[in-house]
Amino acid sequence: MSGASGNVIYAGPGDKQLRRKNDAGFSYTLQNAPFEVSTVVRRNTGVNEYMALGADLDSGGSLGFMFGMSSGDFYVRGASAGTAVRVADNITDSVGLELRLAVDPQANSGKGIGSLSFRVAGTTGAYTEVAGLQSVDLQLDRMAESYRDPSTWNFLYVRAGSGGGLDDLTIRQTVPEPSSSAILGLGCGMLIFSRRRTR
């Protein structure tokens, strides 16, 4: 399991779109298991600032889900330009935000779910969940069948409108916390082992 982190900034006049394939300068590797993607957006009102992961976009591959800001709204969109879900950004302070999308690609019968949260850029406090953008259907079934597994993904897509930008991109596989039943089972196993040794 590995991830990637780096600066991906697009700001200035005009609408910018970038497609970047894994290379020596920036790459990511995922498994078909929960992972997180995060980025910092400038929140320039009315501007698109979002990103996506995908596979073989240089040769007719598939684009996965998108997330970020769109026209002043928090934004998550299903794979291959699927259904877009928007929630108004009601934060009054003019600050950049770090957005984090927690993804479970196997949930929802393999269509995946994503949950969006945020915190003020440059801080280390807790994330705040975006109400209305929890367990969103990521529609991975809209991707070509051979690309639905995140382990096949090798492209990054970024879009930023005039004056907008994305920064500090991070992609990482997440390790689930052990369940209480797993911990309980481990404890019982150690107790049995201990009792056998003392006899």
Q: What's the average model confidence in pLDDT over 73-77?
A: 95
Closest CA to 63 of 135, 128, 143: 143
pLDDT of 42: 83
Mind listing the pLDDT tens digit for each residue in 18-40? 888 999 888 999 999 999 999 99
Domain residues of the chain, as ranges? 4-198
Cβ–Cβ under 8 Å, residues 11 and 160: yes
pLDDT digits (tens, 9 = 90+) for 151-171: 999 999 988 887 778 888 899
pLDDT at 180 over 50: no
25 Cβ contact list (under 8 Å, min separation 6): 6
Computed from CA positions of residues 87, 161, 128, 5, in that sequence, does the dihedral angle turn out positive or negative?
Answer: positive
- Give CA–CA dist 114/107, Å, rounded: 9
Residue burial 80-105, b: 16+ Cβ < 10 Å; e: rest: bebeebbeebeeeeeebbbbbbbbbb
Look at residues 96, 102, 35, 31 and name the one whose alpha carbon lies nearest to residue 69: 96
pLDDT at 52 over 60: yes
pLDDT at 111 over 60: yes
pLDDT, residue 193, reads 37
Distance CA(47)–CA(119), nearest Å, equals 19
What would the mean pLDDT of 68-95 be, rounded to a whole number? 90
User: Which pLDDT does position 4 carry in this prediction?
Assistant: 55
Of 18-32, 78-92, 138-152, which has the strongest mean pLDDT? Answer: 138-152
CATH fold label, 4-198:
Jelly Rolls (2.60.120)
- Confidence class for position 178, pLDDT limits 50, 70, 90: low
C-beta of residue 159 within 8 angstroms of C-beta of residue 51: yes
Q: What distance in Å separates the CA atoms of residue 81 and residue 62, rounded to the nearest whole number?
A: 10
pLDDT at 177: 56
Say what the pLDDT of residue 190 is. 37
Is residue 181 very low, low, confident or very high in pLDDT (cuts 50, 70, 90)? very low
For tokens 């382990």, the residue is 151
Contact 140, 152 (CB under 8 A): no
What is the spatial distance between Cα 46 and Cα 184, in angstroms, rounded to a whole number? 51
Predicted local confidence at residue 37, as pLDDT: 96
Residue 7 has a pLDDT of 61
